[in-house]
Amino acid sequence: MPVLAVAELTLAPLSNFDLGALCAAAVAIVAWRARTLTAGGAVAAFVVGTAAVGGLGLPGAAILLTFFVSSVALSRVGRARKRKIDTVAKAGARDGLQVLANGGVAAACALAALGGDPRFVAAFAGAFAAANADTWGTEIGTLVAAAPRSILTFRPVATGISGGVTAAGTAAELAGAAAVAAVATSVAAVPFWPVVAAGAAGALVDSLLGASAQALRWCAQCERYCETDPHACGANTVLVRGASWFGNDTVNFAATLAGAAAGFLLG
């Protein structure tokens, strides 16, 4: 190969996908080492991060990091209390399915935005606004003393059971959606209120599905409801509501899809 050609190849600027891959790899490795992500979660985060930055550049990175950093920070607040809640389907480091459930739709929107339709940028922001709203609502809602109530029946439910809502958790959902909307407005000129509305819509879908279609189980040994089989105590559980395959990851995917759809239509 001629020397000039080698020099041109070496000095060629990096594309958004190159930068996205480098940044996503660095963040995924740090998160894996910090035990915030499992190995599978790190791989999934690399894919989502590469797509976000590759499709949208700096705005994609800023919106994604708003969700990721705030989620990690809130997960560490009140950790001792959260460890005692054994009703949820998954706890601890996020695995690959959790990462894709929260970021897969947004990644697809980022790639679709390469076609030049600005509505996919709003859809990207809407998807992460929904994911952030759900995460903030869950992390903060589990810390309040008030007993959550089912969004469908208004009856008290155990803390950590999907579909349960509190005033503090609902306020946290709106704040989480607003945080993503504020960043999206500043870095991508996406309208603020449509993104907030998209995040709220996604969080509402999450709660409604969590209170109806999502699998709810009963542990006879502990005499309490939960979302795992077996329960944290090790006993097998019985399905009492919803579909056995319809778990929290499926609900999160549906919620981010609703957020993306709302963002696309409103943005």
Report the pLDDT value the prediction gives residue 144, as an integer from 0 to 100: 80
Q: Dihedral of CA 258/172/248/69: which sign?
A: positive
Percentage, residues of the chain above pLDDT 70: 90
pLDDT in tens, 205-259: 999 999 999 999 999 998 889 888 898 888 999 999 999 999 999 999 999 999 9
Nearest to 181 by CA among 59, 33, 12: 59
pTM as predicted: 0.90
Percentage helix, strand, coil, to 5, in the chain? Answer: 65, 5, 30
